[in-house]
Amino acid sequence: MSRVVSVVLPAYNEEATIEETVETTIRTLEGFLPNDGFEIIVAEDGCDDRTPEIASRLAEEDPRVRHFHGEERLGRGGAVEAAFRVAEGEVLVFFDTDLATDMRHLEELVESIRTDGYDVATGSRWMQGNEADRSLKRGGASRVFNGLVRTALPSDLKDHQCGFKAFDRETAFALFDATEDSHWYWDTEVLVRAQRMGYRVKEFPVEWTEEGDTKVDFSRDVLDMGGGVGRMWWEYSVDPRITQRTTIAGGVLFTLLLIVFGAQFFDPYEVLARMAEADPLLIAFSALVYVVSLPLMGVRYRDILAELGFYERVDFLTGAVFISQTGNVVFPARAGDPIRAYIVKARRNVPYPSGFASLAIERVFDLLMVTALAGAVLLGFAATGVTSVGGLYADIVGSGMEGSGGAALVAALTVGLAAFVAVALIVVSVRTDRNYVRAFGDRLGTGASAEFLIEISERFVSDIQLVAGNRRASLRIAASSFAIWTIDVLAAIIVLLAFGVEIAPLTLLAVGFFAVSVGNLAKVLPLSPGGIGMYEGAFTVLVVALTPINATVALGAAIVDHAIKNGVTVGGGVVSMLALNVSLTTAVEESKEARDVATDSD
């Protein structure tokens, strides 16, 4: 390898300056390196001006200049990284083509790696002794961002975004393999990971002058960079602490806090007394009714997998549903959902991406059906003059329970509205080939964080469109979803009857549909195991607001109803685990890896 140093110049529409930049770089390198000891690579990143033509001409005129052409935009970091991978030098350098950093610092940058033995070197505009002439807007934003990085990640460096960096070749490729971002946040991620991975990083002050307008979009790219900080903070500070023990402890603590908070509004002894008075035969009958819904979930799951090209027996799939639902009861954060993807992969070799796609489809049909049921009942109440959204809120406030159940109600209504709108848009989009997710996402950002969210959304939408595009399959899955939730509601109504409530049958049916639907929407928030507390709060608030049933009876019924459903689920889950030889704790651990495999596969 004949080159000592490879300098990459990331160029996007730089026709006015690129030739002068290359010439200045050559003169500077010739001042301390042999004439054939370096190369300059113009990393032209999908330009739409004359930059490619100029770069090609410069490469023809001087063999030390190379033109790395990109047909489409890779992003600033992506273009630099791609050019480094074809570079020949042992020391890899890049700096911004506007030459905002005084080139007299280039020798120190190179020799920090070449002679002093550092793995990474970077200029700094914020170290004591530098001379950085920056506008208030850009300087203030830079200080805030760098302060955030030092605090959240943390980092020992003062300036992470200075476009003046050098790497040892071996170190560079190890860092690039670990780096996810490809745009403006790339600089920061590389430096933070270098420190985390134990590499020697040198930061030294540079003279820097603001040249022209920045290409950073403060309304879009800054959001990307903030998302990058959040992503790495989660990776380094939160994710390592999320263990099976901590998630269970956190969920149990949250549930206990809900109980303690709810005790401020209810006499727990009176609630227990009302529960003890409930008709045990009707309670048992409610449990039997609910049992019927679990095999229906297996039938629905069979139909969903069939649309994805996998054909399995209903009994096996029902067992998988039982086990995953048991995981959701035992663990918070809906940790049971990925268990099903693990089971169908381990026992029936259904690929992880398809397993997670089937879960996404099922969840959307659940949300759509629950939202539709709640909305239909609310419209029915409004049409008959019983209540309105405003009147319902007034009833909640007037009941004095806005603290315990109002949050769950607001959460449920918000989730329901978002789900209904999102699914409606997805179904409409089936009729067009345009990728609305990508078009909208590109407006928000282009970094790794934005790209991650866009890819998840695209996969989610494509999964739904696959089923929505088949009208017969959609109707079949929707019908089974309706049957499942109707049984869920009937089980709750039977529990209310067990508590001796006396309400007109149609009113009881309507209230049951509304309360159960909104209660299940509240459970979507993964705050406690099985949504305990969230369901009871929303259910109680709505029953009290819409009927003459008192709060103590409503809460007692909600607790018994939820306990029955969770009990049936756990009982079926235990039987299924024995039948399928599946350990719940092992499945949870394996499902974490399953999520990573599914993400990487896409």
Catalytic residues: 187
How far apart, in Å, do the first and last CA atoms of the chain sit? 37
CA 451 – CA 446 distance, rounded (Å): 6
Residues 297 and 316: beta-carbon distance below 8 Å: no
The number of angstroms, rounded, from the C-alpha of 273 to the middle of its chain's C-alpha atoms is 44
Q: Quick one: 507 exposed, middle or buried, by C-beta within 10 A (0-12, 13-18, 19+)?
A: middle
The region that residue 255 occupies, defined by phi over 0 for left and psi between -120 and 50 for alpha, beta otherwise, is alpha
Distance separating alpha carbons of residues 442 and 38, to the nearest angstrom: 37
User: Rounded to whole angstroms, what are the CA distances from 144 to 32, 152, 160, 182, 330?
Assistant: 37, 12, 12, 22, 42
Whole-angstrom Cα distance, residue 399 to residue 143? 50
Element containing residue 93 per DSSP (H, E): strand 91-95
Exposed/middle/buried for 177, CB within 10 Å: 0-12, 13-18, 19+? exposed
Distance, CA of 103 to CA of 163 (rounded, Å): 12
User: Which two tokens mark 217?
Assistant: 């979009």
Identify each DSSP E strand in 206-247 by its residue range.
207-209
Please tell me the distance from the alpha carbon of residue 141 to that of residue 222, in angstroms, as a whole number: 9
Report the amino acid identity of residue 219.
S
Number of H helices, E strands in the chain: 24, 9
Residue 544 Cα distances to 225, 380, 505, 512, angstroms:
47, 18, 17, 12
Taking a C-beta distance cutoff of 8 angstroms, is the pair 100, 147 a contact? no
Whether 58 and 42 have beta carbons less than 8 Å apart is answered as yes
Structure tokens of 192? 């933070």
DSSP secondary structure of 275-331:
HHHS-HHHHHHHHHHHHTHHHHHHHHHHHHHHHTT----HHHHHHHHHHHHHHHHHS
d(CA 434, CA 444): 18
Residue count of the chain, please give it: 602
Q: What angle do CA 52, 53, 55 make, to 5 degrees?
A: 65
Handedness of CA 268, 273, 278, 283 (dihedral sign): positive
DSSP letter, residue 41 = E
User: What is the 8-class DSSP label of residue 235?
Assistant: I
